[in-house]
Structure 1
Amino acid sequence: MEPTEFAPRALSTLENWWQPRDLSADQCWHLAIGPLSMYLEHTAAEWLLGHQRQTEQDEVNRTLQEPLDSWPESLTPNRYVFRQPPSECQLLPCLMDRPVVVKTRQPVFIPPGESINFYISTPVCIRLMLGNELMLLELPVLRLSDTWFGPSTQIGELCYAAKTHARHNLAELPLRPHRAVTPLKITNRSQEMLTIGKISLPVPMLSVFAREDHTLWTEAVTLEHHTDQPLAKLKIERKLPIGISTTQRISSARQRPESNTLVRAFAGIFTD
């Protein structure tokens, strides 16, 4: 992938903001991905980097790059010193380092033997890469709240809580440049009604792919609930969602799931 030069312009909402680029020396640049703003500058011996983030209530659907005459007064940049700093940089999206808990739009009841499909978008993290290998830092686009997901304070795991919903219809899902979409299938293999109000999506086990329409996606995921197992059987599908190929992978999963992986996926499965 050949780096391109920065040009002072606002990007279209879903343009490929993750492409590697050459940043001209002694020029401060403002790059915005959703609610996250990053400020970059490189000189003959260092890179300067700072960032600001809007609140999640002000989550915006934008990508932007523009030159600045000076740094924002409220921002003190971090300095990274090199003998000869590379000029090429890349903002690389990856998924969060913990599972993300989302709500269904309303309680969902799945009878024995039935399945349901959801589409879930989760915010990405951004890795600032120099050259091909050096990562300066990693920042979440949104600062998500911590939440405990499990039947008690002794049983469960620490996750992130996302202010979004699992949607049954893809057409209802806003496609935003700072979020990756996961197609999720839930199958009830038990003999009882499965009730779902919240879903914990194991995003550390998923990769990020860039589709030709400039949207970000992950592999499709299947979760199976069985009567004799409080955890769900996780399957990350080898067949990628429609319109995506393996050549469009732009970041790999943080964790490699083992075969027959079991995860704590649903809230309230013991209430009915």
Structure 2
Amino acid sequence: MSVTSVSEVARWFGEAEAVVVLTGAGISTESGIPDFRGPQGVWTRNPAAQHLFTFENYVADPEVRRQAWAARLASPVWTAEPNAGHRALAEFERTGRLRAVLTQNIDGLHQAAGSSAGLVVELHGTARETACLECGDRLPMAEVLPRIETGEADPACLECGGILKSATISFGQQLDADVIEAAVAATRGADLFVAIGTSLGVYPAAGLCDYAVARGTRLVVVNAEPTPYDGDAAAVLREPIGEVLPRLVAAGAR
């Protein structure tokens, strides 16, 4: 890590022809969605909650599914609004030099802020849809949650009777190979790779930083806590995301 100046990183935003960003939970905490691993994270405060996010448990145990559906119904995702960080990236897209938003988040706030759906690569899926584990049928989550409210604690697929789940990737569940390839392809074409609000401890998402650095792409980390990639980064910024991203974008909007 050789540079920590916001003004210097802003200059890089202005010079770059192909910017790719990787976002994690930290960009959405300012919208009221808690992260998982941070000091006030969901799993930090309640380690037992992790069992709801394990695919094997979800498939095998109806009680886990009932608890998971109750948690989905109460999720802050449904009332959260995009914050200044999300809006800054949507604004930067208008320059034509933001090539992809690779996100570990499942909340859909990038799209809600105005980022083009075709530019957002949801590495871990989306909470805004459901998927049947048997037939693959997908529905908007908004069509399924009312069934929970009316007493279906573990709603089944209306097409085949199979197990329904949010269209997200749980621990032990295989990632979509096409999604990962899209992320790698976007990273391959970047001359500036910016990791925002992510601990960079979850793979294969964190491995995109390895790929970028190996190709000689300049890496910037914007995160409140240290990450394993700080030593590989050309710059590490600790400022609040909602404050620093608008500054970087404003400088880069040439």
Q: Verify same fold: TM over 0.5.
A: no
* Bin of the TM-score, shorter chain as denominator length: under 0.3
Larger radius of gyration: 1
Query: TM-score by structure 2 length?
Result: 0.25
| Structure showing greater relative contact order (alpha-carbon pairs closer than 8 Å, 6 or more residues apart) | 2
- Higher helix proportion: 2
- Higher strand proportion: 1
Query: TM-score by structure 1 length?
Result: 0.24
